[in-house]
Chains A and B, each alone.
Chain A
Amino acid sequence: MPTSWRDAFDLGDREIPVGPEPEGREGVFSRLRQGLSRSRKALGAELGSSLTAGIDDGTWESLEEALILADVGAPTTAAVVRRLEDEYEAGDVTGGERLRERLIELLAETASPSADPRIRLGADPAVLMVVGVNGTGKTTTIGKIAWHLQQELGLDVVVGAADTYRAAAVEQLTEWAERAGCQIVRGTEGGDPGAVAFDAVEAARARGSDVVICDTAGRLHTKGNLMEELSKVRRVIAKQLPDAPHETLVVIDATTGQNGVRQAQEFSRSVAVTGAVLTKLDGSAKGGVALAIASELGIPVKLIGIGESLEDLRPFDSEQFARALLAE
């Protein structure tokens, strides 16, 4: 459960200047809360009162309702609520407030399935591959990560523009690279993404850079040929640098519903995903599908996106996420 940038990245034995910490819990919290719509607030209040007042069937129902509305999905919701109900029946948890805290614990546990959720950047160079369906925020997230590593942690970063498909995708990443002050390796629109990935890793080795971040074209996880193309990019990287890519992050839009589970699953199948980035949490969507992804597939969320600017990236804090799910 990383709450600070230091805990978000495993940088191996690199010397890191003491960088600024992300804004405190309260800060992100209130930003996330700003997104709450009126209906959601009303529901949160209703839930709060039923949890602190008497506990009956209605309590469990409104809990389920809150989680379903947060996109947690029926199976994961049922599993979590059943556990809480069992503990309550067994007399392990009593009282509304205690119950609510226990629920948050259970949700946070479900959201962080792995022992060490840090992003591994210890290798030299470390290669990070970013994948996901169209429009989830891959390129933006890469810009933010690159900025953070380059400017805040003082690492030397190279980004590879291997989205050679979408119109002006290369121009978009170029703009982000400029903002982040990092290097960029480009191919041509319509060119071979594998070749761009190869060149990016090559350039990083030649320069002695610390980190390579490889952008890829958005694709629907149902398109077999495009998914095969993605595994090919991965193979090209692995061939060049054993153990690479060291991290493969799937970017999931917090607005996504249950289809997000299928996305994570299919991307995992073709490129061995090591973590998820949950973007657009600055909206009113809760991103509960990340909980289903974590519990059903064991893929941890590592970073969250909370806006469109460089600094709108945060380490994932499962407790904070759990609290926001219940929209208190």
Chain B
Amino acid sequence: MFDQLSERLQGVLSEVRSRGKLSEDDVKKALREVRLALLEADVNFKVVKDFTASLRERLEGEEVSEALNPGQTVVRAVNDELTELMGGGSRDLAFAPNSPTVILMAGLQGSGKTTAAAKLAKLLRKDNKDVALAACDLQRPAAVEQLQKLGEQAKAHVYTVPGESDAVNVAKWALDQAKAEGRDVLIVDTAGRLHVDQDLMDELAAVRKATKPMDVLLVLDAMTGQDAVNVAESFAEVAEFDGVVITKLDGDARGGAALSVRAVTGKPIMYASTGEKLDELERFHPDRMAGRILGMGDVMSLIEKSQEEFDADQAADLEQKLRKQQFTLDDFLTQLKQVRRMGPLGSIMKMIPGMGKAMQGMGEVDEREIDRIEAIVLSMTPHERAHPDQINGSRRKRIAAGSGTNVQAVNRLVKQFGQMRKMMKQLSEGKMPSPEQLMRGAR
């Protein structure tokens, strides 16, 4: 069920089961694989060293449990340790007793500060907060225009001072305005800067001093490599950031930088940014990140996401149907639509363990395919939808014509549905289908 690391561990630990305990040699082999996996995930070299040292203690003499095989036993141990290292719990934004609450965004060039600022604004707008944005990136051409456009989309007011070239002045002015206009929150966007650029780091410190933010957020690209620790240390020193927003998590970067930053600064990762659209910002979950770094998929997210979207009665009803094998094409269509509401199908699929890898090179699941499926199902009679196995050749022709598709497409759907039913049955009996099975069901 777990991919890569787990498989590799299984390979080097194949002898263990008979002994029931990990020997010194097993631990050494396992640690080597863990070390490689973490480095591949861009966890900082020194952090990896510390991490494997503490893992060694735990693994020595670790019982290989009944339920898990040796590889999975190690994976579980790594997962626990990683989760703990990443903070165990996430943290909320702090609000000032007197408005406005100032939030300062800081980070390297191109890390996604402006987008993250607008996303945060939109998130807080959902809580009915009156949010304003201050455009203090005066370095990058058209950065102010970008914030203005995004602010409009997020329905947040944007403070700009045309002609002003000092970011500190803009920040001060924006704060005065926000106070005068009674805004609840002021989010200050700043220019991207390298942590080794003394002038710009001084400017950041000055903006911080002038605005007295409740929270300073470091915006960090999930693809960042070994240098993340140097970046984080410098920003911690100069901007004293309180938490991290990790961005571009919708890609396939393992995001080991998150772990490095947490390890060297002790600051929590607060938000995860997962797309270019303004509502693609989520609370960060350390436990999920552990799985991601190890390439194990994000089971928790998937479960939670589906819990949010499906109502409980429907779910119970569905479960009944699944158990009794009464799941019809109508139900299938309802499910598809619900899955679609959860977000792009591709990103959902990636949260399933093992799927991340299976989907590489496959590209995104074609959303138009769902439209086609919908058209086909809607061209069937209710009887046909409940008994797809009874759809014969002439019926298939009729359905194809009615849905504007072809007989092959109808055949495919009927076949897939059959497989899906089988898979669903296994799922409801508590058996996890293989990624291959899932794929066939999805395509």
Contacts and interface: CB of A to CB of B under 8 A. Distances in A.
Given A167-B149, A257-B225, A172 B140 contact: yes
B381 interface: no
Contacts of B112: 134-135
Contact of B141 (A35, A176, A259): A176
A283 B195 contact: yes
Contacts of A71: 42, 225-227
A227 interface: yes
Contact of B251 (A40, A73, A133, A283): A133
Nearest to A227: B363
Contacts of B45: 65, 68-69
Given A135-B112, A137-B109, A225-B363, A283 B227 contact: yes
Contact of B110 (A136, A172, A222, A225): A136
B136 to A, nearest CB: 16
Interface size class of B (residues with CB under 8 A): 35 or more
A174 to B, nearest CB: 8
A268 to B, nearest CB: 13
Contact of A285 (B41, B44, B227, B362): B227
Q: Identify the interface centre among A220, A222, A289: most chain B CB within 10 Å of its CB.
A: A222
Given A74-B39, A168-B149, A283-B196, A257 B224 contact: yes
B108 interface: yes
A171 B231 CA distance: 30
11 contacts: A37-B230, A68-B39, A73-B40, A168-B149, A224-B362, A228-B363, A259-B42, A260-B225, A283-B227, A284-B196, A288-B225
A175 interface: yes
Interface string A124-145: 0000000001111100000000
Contact of B42 (A35, A70, A133, A257): A257
A253 interface: yes
B194 A282 contact: yes
B139 A284 contact: no
Given A220-B248, A220-B251, A285-B226, 19 more contacts: A68-B39, A69-B45, A71-B225, A74-B40, A135-B112, A135-B221, A137-B109, A171-B145, A172-B140, A175-B142, A222-B251, A224-B362, A258-B42, A259-B42, A259-B223, A280-B108, A282-B194, A283-B227, A308-B140
A134 B111 CA distance: 8
B195 A175 contact: no
Given A167-B149, A168-B149, A259-B251, A225 B227 contact: no
A255 B251 contact: no
Closest 10 CB pairs of A and B: A224-B363, A257-B225, A135-B110, A257-B42, A175-B141, A168-B145, A172-B142, A171-B142, A168-B146, A167-B149
Contacts of B256: 257
Nearest to B356: A222
Contacts of A73: 39-40
Interface in B358-408: 362-364
B227 A171 contact: no
A259 B226 CA distance: 12
A239 interface: no
B24 interface: no
Interface string A261-299: 011000000000000000010111110110000000000
Given A134-B248, A220-B251, A255 B225 contact: yes
Contacts of A34: 196
Given A227-B363, A280-B194, A166 B146 contact: yes
B380 to A, nearest CB: 29
Interface residues of A, number: 53
A176 B141 CA distance: 8
Nearest to B113: A135
Interface string B30-45: 0000001001111011
Nearest to B192: A135
A35 B108 CA distance: 14
Interface string B129-157: 00000000001111101101110010000
A75 B31 CA distance: 17
Interface of B: 36, 39-42, 44-45, 108-112, 139-143, 145-146, 148-150, 153, 194-197, 221-227, 230-231, 234, 248, 250-254, 256-257, 276, 346, 362-364
Contacts of B148: 168
A39 interface: yes
Interface of A: 34-35, 37, 39-40, 65, 68-71, 73-74, 133-137, 165-169, 171-172, 174-176, 220-225, 227-228, 253, 255-260, 262-263, 280, 282-286, 288-289, 308
A55 B234 CA distance: 34
B223 A257 contact: yes
Contact of B250 (A222, A228, A260): A222
A134 B230 CA distance: 22
B226 to A, nearest CB: 5
A68 B226 CA distance: 8
A171 B144 CA distance: 10
A159 B143 CA distance: 20
A256 B224 contact: yes
B225 A258 contact: yes
A180 B131 CA distance: 38
A134 B110 contact: yes
A308 B195 contact: no
A227 B252 CA distance: 14
Nearest to B359: A222
A174 B251 CA distance: 29
A39 B230 CA distance: 9
Contacts of A262: 252
Contacts of B231: 255
Contact of A168 (B142, B221, B252): B142
Nearest to A71: B225
Contacts of B364: 223-225
Nearest to A137: B110
A167 B36 CA distance: 39
A68 B49 CA distance: 12
A256 B112 CA distance: 14
Contacts of B108: 255, 280, 283
A252 to B, nearest CB: 10
Contacts of A37: 196, 230, 234
A255 B227 contact: yes
B263 to A, nearest CB: 14
B179 to A, nearest CB: 28
B223 A256 contact: yes
A305 B431 CA distance: 52
Given A35-B194, A224-B364, A284-B196, A133 B223 contact: yes
A76 B254 CA distance: 19
A27 B143 CA distance: 30
Contacts of B41: 258
